[in-house]
C-alpha cells in the first residue's frame, strides 16, 4: 500500500485517540497530524495552567504562618524548591549504605534495573537507574526492610508530599509515587534542556553524595514553568519538526521516546537569555523539588567528575479532570 495513502487511512483513528486522551496528563502530545497542526496543545497547556494556579492559590492560603506562605509563593514564582539537610548527617550514611545494598542485589529487593532508558554517547558514561517497588501502606511485608527504610526516610515529614502536591496541582498519594535509585556520570539524553510534559507536574531528587558544579547537578530555568506562551512555542516547533523533518515512512508523533527539546527551536537563544539558571550544586542530604513542565536538564560532567548518586522521586501523572476536584 502507498505510504501516503496508509497515513491518510490511519489519521481518523489517531484523531479519535487524541480526542479521547485530551485530558490525560500521561498523553503528552497529539498523535494525529490534524490536531498537531491545530492549537490542541495550546488549549491543554492553558487549561492545565488555570487549574493548577487555582489549586496552588488555595494551597498557599491554608497556611497561617507567614514564612510558609512566603516559601510557597517563592515556589510558585520560581518553579523549584531546595531543602538543604532534608536528611540529617547521622541518618545519611545509613541511607546511602542501604541504597548501595539495594542496587547491588536488585532481584533480592524486587527492584527493576531500567538503566537502558537513557541514551548514552560515550562508553565511559555511567547511567544506573533502579526503580523500587511501590510503597505499601501498613503492615504489608512484600517489600524488604531496606526498601521500606528508604520510604520511611522520604516520608519522615510532610515536606516531600506537600511540595510534590503543590507543583502538580493535585493531591499526591504515596502509592502514586515512583522511587528510583540512580548513579550518573557523563552525557545522556537528559543532558539537553527539555520539558517533561505539557502539564504542571513534579519530580524530586535527594542527593546521597555532595554534588558540585561538574558532577551533573540538576539545572532549572527559574520561572520557565509559568511562561505558557514559550512552552507552547517549544512544543509546537518540536512537533512540527517531527512531521516535516523525519523519515516519512513512519509517524514519529507516536514514538514514546521523543523528547521536547529547547535546542530544536528557533527561539532557543532567547530562552537561554530570558531565565536565570539554577545549578543545584548542593551537599549530600539536600532535596530538590521542581515543576518539570519548566525547562531543565542534567548538568555537565566529564570522566573526572564524581558520580551523582541520588534518589529520584516521580509523581505518576493522572488526568486534568482530577484537578477539578
Is the CB of residue 75 less than 8 Å from the CB of residue 165? no
* DSSP strands (E only) in the chain: 80-83, 112-113, 126-131, 177-185, 194-195, 202-207, 218-221, 260-261, 277-280, 287-291, 296-298, 308-315
pLDDT (0 to 100) of residue 310: 97
Tell me the domain boundaries of the chain.
3-324
pLDDT (0 to 100) of residue 273: 95
Joined grid coordinates for residue 223: 520561572
Is the CB of residue 24 less than 8 Å from the CB of residue 319? yes
- C-alpha to C-alpha distance for 98 and 311, rounded to whole angstroms: 12
Q: Which residues of the chain have pLDDT under 50?
A: 248-249
Is the CB of residue 212 less than 8 Å from the CB of residue 281? yes
State residue 181 phi and psi, 5-degree precision: -105, 130
- CATH number for region 3-324: 2.60.120.620
pTM across the whole model: 0.91
Amino acid at each position: 500500500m502507498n505510504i501516503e495513502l496508509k497515513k491518510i487511512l490511519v489519521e481518523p483513528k489517531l484523531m479519535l485517540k487524541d480526542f479521547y486522551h485530551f485530558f490525560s496528563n500521561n498523553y503528552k502530545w497529539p498523535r494525529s497530524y490534524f490536531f498537531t497542526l491545530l492549537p490542541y496543545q495550546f488549549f491543554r497547556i492553558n487549561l492545565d495552567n488555570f487549574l493548577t494556579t487555582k489549586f496552588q492559590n488555595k494551597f498557599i492560603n491554608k497556611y497561617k504562618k507567614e514564612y510558609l506562605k512566603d516559601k510557597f509563593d517563592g515556589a510558585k514564582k520560581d518553579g523549584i524548591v531546595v531543602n538543604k539537610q532534608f536528611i540529617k548527617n547521622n541518618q545519611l550514611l545509613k541511607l546511602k549504605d542501604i541504597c548501595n545494598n539495594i542496587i547491588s542485589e536488585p532481584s533480592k529487593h524486587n527492584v527493576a534495573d531500567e538503566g537502558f532508558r537513557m541514551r548514552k554517547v560515550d562508553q565511559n558514561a555511567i547511567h544506573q537507574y533502579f526503580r523500587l517497588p511501590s510503597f505499601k501502606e501498613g503492615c504489608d511485608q512484600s517489600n524488604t526492610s531496606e526498601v521500606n527504610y528508604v520510604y520511611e526516610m522520604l516520608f519522615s515529614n510532610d515536606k516531600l508530599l506537600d511540595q510534590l502536591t503543590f507543583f502538580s496541582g493535585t493531591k499526591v498519594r504515596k502509592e502514586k509515587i515512583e522511587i528510583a535509585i540512580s548513579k550518573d556520570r557523563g552525557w545522556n539524553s537528559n543532558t539537553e534542556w527539555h520539558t517533561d510534559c505539557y502539564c504542571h507536574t513534579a519530580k524530586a531528587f535527594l542527593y546521597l553524595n555532595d554534588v558540585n558544579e561538574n558532577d551533573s547537578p540538576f539545572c532549572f530555568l527559574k520561572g520557565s514553568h509559568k511562561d505558557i506562551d514559550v512552552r507552547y512555542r517549544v512544543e509546537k516547533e518540536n512537533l512540527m519538526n517531527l512531521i516535516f523533518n523525519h523519515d516519512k515512512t513512519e509517524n514519529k508523533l507516536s514514538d514514546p521516546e521523543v523528547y521536547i527539546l529547547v535546542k530544536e527551536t528557533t527561539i532557543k537563544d532567547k530562552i537561554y537569555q530570558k531565565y536565570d539558571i539554577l545549578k543545584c550544586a548542593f551537599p549530600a542530604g539536600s532535596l530538590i523539588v521542581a515543576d518539570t513542565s519548566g525547562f531543565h536538564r542534567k548538568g555537565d560532567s566529564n570522566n573526572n567528575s564524581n558520580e551523582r548518586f541520588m534518589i529520584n522521586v516521580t509523581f505518576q501523572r493522572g488526568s486534568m479532570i482530577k484537578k477539578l476536584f
